[in-house]
A = this chain, B = another copy of it.
Amino acid sequence: MQFFKVKTVEETFALIDEKIGKITETEIRPLDEALHYILAEDVTAGENVPGFDRSTVDGYAVIARDTYGSSESMPGFLNVAGEVHMGEEAVKPVGRGEAIYVPTGGMLPPGSDSVLMIEHCEEIGGLLNTYKQIAPGENVIRKGEDIKAGEVLLSEGTRLRPQELGALAALGVYEVKVYRKLKAAYLSSGDEIVPFETKTLETGQIRDINYLTVKGLVNEWDIELIYGGITRDDYQEFAQRARELYEQADCLILSGGSSVGTKDYTTEVIQSLGDPGVFVHGISIKPGKPTILAVADGKPVIGLPGHPASAMIIFKLFGERVFRRLKGERIERKPERIFARIVKNIASSPGRSDYIRVRLEEKDGEWWAEPIIGKSGLITTLVKSNGIVEIVSEKEGISQGEYVPVILTR
């Protein structure tokens, strides 16, 4: 058997980024069915947004200098020369000393350069009293000011949030080329594990809790999960079932069997799936040390620790990164961790990263993190928490009141 040196959390993330690449298959999806998909190509604007100068308010299109000097006490006067209708081209121009009514979103008439809000003027019998002076460009969005024709609006690797969908719709992009949806497969192993639907347990048995937490997280990441059932602690059965699932999915998740017990076939089974195989076997982390990460012929394999609470923390931390890599998502710094103040001192061993379940409470415009009491194996500690404080491996602990990074588990 091969021996592995335990990796730090930082080394583990670097190895994931190095070893796991994105899938290559793409698909064309209608824009309104593309939420959270990852763009597989750059999108270049084919037109200007807006396509014409638009008013951002209800008001009168004017030539700005015709309003100069206007005030509440000294109003100016302009002739109202017409009205722009929504959805119609504004053809009649605004001349010197003239104003044309424009609703919000309406097109600016030729000749005008700004819009005086209706709150700042008053129309009386075809004459507009102006109570405010405005600058050229005021209350107007210029043609192409939002998006310019020819610019790259979004680049390959962008995750499509609601706002990206909106911007693409503005451009007339009604379908997008994205990486296809991922499928993961889950296999549980262990003589003591029984299906979660089991009504009555025999002594020594436990239900397959990890299936529920893994499926929940995977579904939150917009990935489908294939349930592979539970195998006995038997190498042949385990290896065969793992192989079948591995072939159906983009990533295989193995639950249980990764402790240093005598029945640990997990590493061997993973190595049998393909090369280069295991690249992390043991992480200097609490909880979750006996974690395995591998790549077999390009497909990631994750071996979770057996404790449900540890398994969930490990999967949230490293599983999410594995799937973001696999999806083709550009990994940018985004607020995956917030910062909160810890309510009490917590000791930690240097060289090991600790993940402490906490309850976040707001106090005077700051988040305070209160550690949840209870052994790390208890699933209820996760139920009671809405965040996990990270104590990075260089630190020997954190002091009361210190700002600490917190991963949200809302």
Residue A18 is within 8 A (CB to CB) of chain B in the complex: no
Instruction: Name the contact of A216 in the complex, choosing from B165, B196, B335, B360 (C-beta under 8 A).
Output: B165
Residue A32 is within 8 A (CB to CB) of chain B in the complex: yes
Binding site for B on A (CB under 8 A): 31-32, 35, 47, 49-52, 54, 56, 58, 85-90, 103-107, 118, 141, 145-147, 153-154, 161-170, 172, 174, 190-193, 196-217, 219-220, 227, 233, 259-263, 306-308, 312, 333-335, 338-339, 360-362, 365-367, 375-380, 382-383, 385-387, 403, 405, 408-410
A260 CB to closest chain B CB (Å) equals 6
A–B complex contacts, Cβ < 8 Å, 24 sampled: A32-B196, A32-B212, A35-B216, A51-B206, A56-B307, A58-B259, A58-B260, A86-B233, A87-B190, A103-B259, A104-B261, A105-B192, A154-B383, A162-B217, A166-B212, A166-B379, A168-B212, A169-B196, A170-B379, A172-B200, A174-B199, A335-B338, A335-B408, A339-B366
> Which interface residue of A198, A206, A403 has the most chain B CB atoms within 10 A?
A206
- A87-B192 contact in complex given A105-B306, A209-B166, C-beta closer than 8 Å: yes
Tell me the nearest residue of chain B to A170, going by C-beta: B209
Residue contact B31 to A204, C-beta cutoff 8 Å? no
A320 CB to closest chain B CB (Å) equals 12
Chain B residue contacts of A259, Cβ below 8 A: 58, 103-104
Residue contact A211 to B169, C-beta cutoff 8 Å? yes
Chain B residue contacts of A385, Cβ below 8 A: 163
A66 CB to closest chain B CB (Å) equals 22
Chain B residue contacts of A408, Cβ below 8 A: 335
A214 to B215, CA, bound (A): 27
Residue contact B338 to A35, C-beta cutoff 8 Å? no
Chain B residue contacts of A88, Cβ below 8 A: 191-192, 204
Residue contact B405 to A365, C-beta cutoff 8 Å? yes
Residue contact A377 to B56, C-beta cutoff 8 Å? yes
Residue contact B204 to A52, C-beta cutoff 8 Å? yes
A8 CB to closest chain B CB (Å) equals 19
A270 CB to closest chain B CB (Å) equals 19
Chain B residue contacts of A306, Cβ below 8 A: 104-105
Residue contact B335 to A387, C-beta cutoff 8 Å? yes
Residue contact A378 to B141, C-beta cutoff 8 Å? yes
A327 to B106, CA, bound (A): 38
A284 CB to closest chain B CB (Å) equals 14
